[in-house]
Structure 1
């Protein structure tokens, strides 16, 4: 009778083996996903390290804003930086992609004028990436 109840409620050796196989496959899938994520995000690889700072911003008129910026990073790397002008609500009203060339120095500064669709409240260097 006990064997009949085990069969009826799925407590057979085959069921336990199938459960182990599913658990091992799920664990393998999680490990594979973690490894793929590590490769995708560059864990253990070389990454570009830099720091981009907005020094000042000045609204010139209703259609332009000047942003003064400073990038500190590898002297042998060129960057492309997104420089934005934003209105009082934080909405981007102008954007310029500025190429920052290799100069031989780790510190590079510049001024960028961002043309805007309406008056901005501020300007900033939003992000950079390797060129």
Structure 2
């Protein structure tokens, strides 16, 4: 004859403290590992971030646009920026990549000239990155 303890054991109704403890330890380790990875990826991404603020543009003539902007970049790192000039239909009529050497300052202001192939109506900074 089968006893109640044998039935409980057979159908999993008994407490298994080691299995439960191992499960929760594994869950805690995965959660801690995920939090550490997320934190480090966020910090490492912001260490190399470059912020750009367009300050204005001036259309000098049919073949030239000046763009003024300010960079916020990690001190001591080389920076490159893609500048563009657009026409009335937002078509690109001028494009230029400029590079800036390492500087000890966090924020820098620049004014650059973009040569164009047609009359531009605006000039802007497309993007900047650490080189």
TM-score scaled by length of structure 2: 0.64
Runs of 4+ in 1 over 3 A off after TM superposition: 42-45
Rg larger for: 2
In structure 2, what is the Cα distance between the partners aligned to 1:75 and 1:45? 16
What are the within-5 Å matches in structure 2 for residues 1-131 of structure 1? 43=41, 46-47=44-45, 48-131=48-131
Aligned with 1:46: secondary structure? helix
Q: Contact 2:50–2:130 (CA<8 Å) still a contact in 1?
A: no
Gaps of 5+ in 1: 1-37
Deviations 1:33-57 (A, max 9, x none): xxxxx9xxx9457231121111110
TM-score scaled by length of structure 1: 0.64
2:21 aligned residue: none
Count residues in correspondence.
Answer: 91
Gaps of 5+ in 2: 1-36
Deviations 1:38-89 (A, max 9, x none): 9xxx945723112111111000000010001110121121111001111111
Q: Contact 2:49–2:129 (CA<8 Å) still a contact in 1?
A: no
CA RMSD between the two structures? 1.8
